[in-house]
């Protein structure tokens, strides 16, 4: 477990964490929605605009070369983070959501036929559900769902029943943004490949919080977002095997993604340029690179260890509160996410009272409404942890929940 002083020291790197909300020190526990940004990320973006602002890949002047170098260095940082074989397998997009839509349009429209199956799980975020709904409706295919048990774990014993030659793609979250469940991607990918299916991993929650190696997972696609791992908004990543990217048609067209153009025809650049039409998110990519550097200095294994310790501690504290129900598996199978309800109080009321105490949590269906319905509730409160959260903060949250219980149930 990382020592407590490390977290307090880390908090000084994040300007927003110095704020007070309603006169109380901010406790930020909405990290599954977006994370706060350290000074190094803010400065990297500011420095780019102040000293090297230019478009990339399009100029031989000094500023253009500097901008291009910084942009491609960020891509290489992502490659190393994910252990991809080549930087050409890393495509910059606006978000994990856009990356999934890229795959559903480019690969999906070219490969999915009537009668085919896209296999998902019951714990998917809307971003890893709706694009496949639209694709299967367009192509005359269908979605099937691998279920979860009452503890929030995948029913792995049912996987063979779903996997056959009709399954073209298995799209699965690496870690649930509601239950915190960490899924056994390596095993799932192996069994999917045995029937010829490709595997897409929604890494929006897993990549920021634990080591992820795309070669060890043996996935075909993986997506993630910069803003969920200390980086800026407006930058995401699609990892895909080089062979797949070469075969897939462009998702968007315009400048930069072309090789040759006439008034009647065009040919495409090699990946990743083929999928990065127009001016890319240059400053965002540079900020994302700085965020990865910050995380790697700490080590994602240490981040994961710390979050698991926080969750185990929080679960023990919260279970002492009468009427509080926690959803999802035990700490051995979950990351730094804790969703719960308190008696018959609405999570929005609970979140409002905690906000009065300077505590930021999330309340609602967390962009996973089918999962919330599957669990038989209308909404949940969610506390999601990151590297700058502390055990003292958990104690304050537990005290605030007891206070909220007194207010809302009397």
Residues with active-site annotation:
367
Calculate the alpha carbon distances from 127 to 26, 133, 340 in Å.
Answer: 30, 10, 22
Report the distance separating Cα 248 and Cα 229, nearest Å: 28
Sorted by sequence, the CB contacts under 8 Å of residue 305 that are 6+ apart come out as 1, 2
Report the distance separating Cα 385 and Cα 21, nearest Å: 18
Q: Are strands 380-384 and 362-364 parallel, antiparallel or unpaired?
A: antiparallel
Structure tokens at 182: 């960490």
Task: Give bridge partners of residue 342 from the DSSP assignment.
Answer: 324
* Contact of 277 with 257, CB cutoff 8 Å: yes
Report the distance separating Cα 269 and Cα 271, nearest Å: 7
Report the distance separating Cα 19 and Cα 25, nearest Å: 6
* Contact of 292 with 81, CB cutoff 8 Å: yes
Which regions of 34-146 does DSSP assign to beta strands (E)?
90-93, 117-121, 142-146
Calculate the alpha carbon distances from 283 to 49, 54, 378 in Å.
Answer: 8, 10, 39
Q: Which of 83, 78, 41 is nearest to 272 (CA)?
A: 78
Which residue in the block uniquely carries the two structure tokens 């009468």?
Answer: 322
* Contact of 181 with 175, CB cutoff 8 Å: yes
Q: Which of 62, 83, 370, 334 is nearest to 206 (CA)?
A: 334
DSSP element (H, E) containing 71: helix 62-82
Q: Are strands 167-173 and 90-93 parallel, antiparallel or unpaired?
A: unpaired
Q: Which of 46, 35, 91 is nearest to 239 (CA)?
A: 91
Structure tokens at 31: 């990290």
Cis check: omega of the bond before 272, within 30 degrees of 0: yes
């Amino acid at each position: 477990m990382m020592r407590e002083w490390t977290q307090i020291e880390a908090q000084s790197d994040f300007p927003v964490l110095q704020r007070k909300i309603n006169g109380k020190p901010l406790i930020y526990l909405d990290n599954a929605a977006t994370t706060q940004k350290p000074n190094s990320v803010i400065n990297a973006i500011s420095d780019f605009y102040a000293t090297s602002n230019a478009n990339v890949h399009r100029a031989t002047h000094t500023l253009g070369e500097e901008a291009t170098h910084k942009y491609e260095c960020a891509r290489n940082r992502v490659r190393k983070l994910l252990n991809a074989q080549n930087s050409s397998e890393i495509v910059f997009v606006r978000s994990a959501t856009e990356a999934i839509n890229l795959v559903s349009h480019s690969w999906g429209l070219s490969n999915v036929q009537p009668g085919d199956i896209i296999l998902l799980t019951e714990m998917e975020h809307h971003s890893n559900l709706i694009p496949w709904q639209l694709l299967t409706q367009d192509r005359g295919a269908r979605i099937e769902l691998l279920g979860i048990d009452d503890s929030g774990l995948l029913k792995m014993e049912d996987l063979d029943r779903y996997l056959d030659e009709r399954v073209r793609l298995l799209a699965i979250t690496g870690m649930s943004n509601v239950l915190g469940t960490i899924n056994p991607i390596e095993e799932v990918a192996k069994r999917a490949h045995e029937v010829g299916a490709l595997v897409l991993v929604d890494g929006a929650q897993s990549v920021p919080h634990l080591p992820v190696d795309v070669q060890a997972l043996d996935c075909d696609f993986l997506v993630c977002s910069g803003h969920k791992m200390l980086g800026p908004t407006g930058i995401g990543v699609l990892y895909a095997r080089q062979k797949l990217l070469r075969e897939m048609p462009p998702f968007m067209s315009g400048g930069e993604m072309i090789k040759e153009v006439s008034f009647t025809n065009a040919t495409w650049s090699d990946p990743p340029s083929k999928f990065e039409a127009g001016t890319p998110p240059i400053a965002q990519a540079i900020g994302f690179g700085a965020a990865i550097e910050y995380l790697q200095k700490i080590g994602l294994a240490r981040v994961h260890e710390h979050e698991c310790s926080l969750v185990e501690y929080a679960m023990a504290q919260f279970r002492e509160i009468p009427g509080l129900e926690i959803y999802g598996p035990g700490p051995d199978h979950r990351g730094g996410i804790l969703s719960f309800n308190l008696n018959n109080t609405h999570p929005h009321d609970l979140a409002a009272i905690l906000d009065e105490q300077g505590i930021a949590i999330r309340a609602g269906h967390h962009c996973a409404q089918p999962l919330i319905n599957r669990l038989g509730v209308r909404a949940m409160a969610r506390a999601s942890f990151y590297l700058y959260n502390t055990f003292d903060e958990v104690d304050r949250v537990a005290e605030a929940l007891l206070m909220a219980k007194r207010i809302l149930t009397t």
